[in-house]
Structure 1
Amino acid sequence: MKTLRLLPIVLAAMGALVLLKGIGLLSNGGYTLVGMDVAVAQSTPAEPAQSASQADEGAGTGREEEPVRLSTIDEAAAQRAADELFSATNSPVPDSGQEDARAVVEDSNGNFSYFDDESLTGNTEAAVLQRLSERRAELDAREKALELQESLVQAAELRLNERIANLEAVEARVQALLDQQTASEEAQFDALVSMYANMKPADAANVFNSLNMEILLRLATKMSPRKMSPILADMSTERAQELTIRIATAQMAPEALELANNSAMSSEDQLPQIVGQ
């Protein structure tokens, strides 16, 4: 950029003003400038001359003399000269035919181009707006995808809750049926126990001798001891012994049962062996 130094011009203007004032003082207000009409000072009424005594009194008091004032013509000429000088400083600088230096930029493809602030600003704003619109589109698409996924999850959760409710209802019905069946079986078995308890001990003992041990164990534990003792007395010795062992072991804890089994095995090992001749 071309710059214009104003300080020398201002100094020149001030010098011209001082010169014009000096010329006005020397010529008593009658001077001419180039391109100006000759100005003739108008006569003013002469002030009465001071007496010598008044002049002496003024000198004795030490009062300073009043500053010299320019006439109207002198002030107009000085103002005109100052306007001409300052109009010269404000005038545009003549073009020398040389262009200002412009910055050169290189793009990504290696091409060089002049740096233009306006075009760069416009391109930057367009790129920013385009990027913002792309980002907004991406966010909108992601939001729609999340909303769709959320709706699918809610639908799956609703179906799962319905399935769990159905399974719980089925489980409740099955449990009710099982409880009903168990109660019916218990009632039937209680009737069977009552039937054997009301039989003659000998007849019941004959049946118990050939009955399955698991069923016999249940019958014996359900039957009262007062009813079971005569039946047990009429049973065979082996069968009565086996039933007694099962009843005893069924009421024992697992640790006590294991200890009893170990004791029985050790006692069998200690039995004397008969060796044939």
Structure 2
Amino acid sequence: MNSIRLLPIVLVAISALLVFKTIGLVTQGGYVLLGTNQAMAQAQPDAQPGANAPDAAALSPSEEAAAARAAESLFASPNPASPAAPGDKTAATTPDGAAATDAKAPDQGSQAKLSPTEEAVLQRLSERRIELDDRANKLDLQASLVKAAEERLNQRIEELKTLEARVQALVDMQNAQGDKAFASLVSMYENMKPNDAAAVFNTLDMNVLLRLALRMNPRKMSPILAKMNTERAQLLTVRMASPQVNGSDMNALNNTAPPASSALPQIVGK
């Protein structure tokens, strides 16, 4: 009995469901109860004409992405540039220009906010910088002048060294010639007779006589010294035995020319 009673109920329910489904397909959902339709009409905004279909109210994936980007740009901070579509050149360039303008604005504001004291300090620093640059230029000029003077001085020193070498060569040559001539003179007095040489030595300048006596062979000089005047021989002996007669004195004696006969020193006897 229970199965006989449930079966008609199930059949009736299925039939009613099929009827409502058919009506819904024909009327596109118009079979919904009146109260429910009014609540949905109040909750949703008015649709545009011709947009009553359920598929017309749905958004495509590209439209959803565009809406998301618009929302991000709306709630994002003003400093970062909002993303723009690839084909929209205005949207790509305008944020950069605005950012550049915003970056320049603080500098202009900081310059406009300088106090008179700060401006005076900046002016003084600029003047000081100019003075330091001028001083640096002057120092560079002085350094270049000093360097040029040093180069000229070094060149002059080299020229003087060359000239000194030439003069020294001439002096050495002259000394060599003088030594050669003096050696000939010494040899001549050594070969003279003692009496003749003693007569000349008695009236000869003491410096020249000292040079000759020091250069002559002692065996040749001793007979001449024995024939000389006693006082003259004594003075020559003292001069030859003096410790001051060293190499430097000999050089001075060698470079001393014999004086004239009128300038001969007078020998005072004791």
TM-score (norm 1): 0.44
Q: Which has the higher contact order (CA 8 A, sep 6+)?
A: 1
Q: Which structure: greater helix fraction?
A: 2
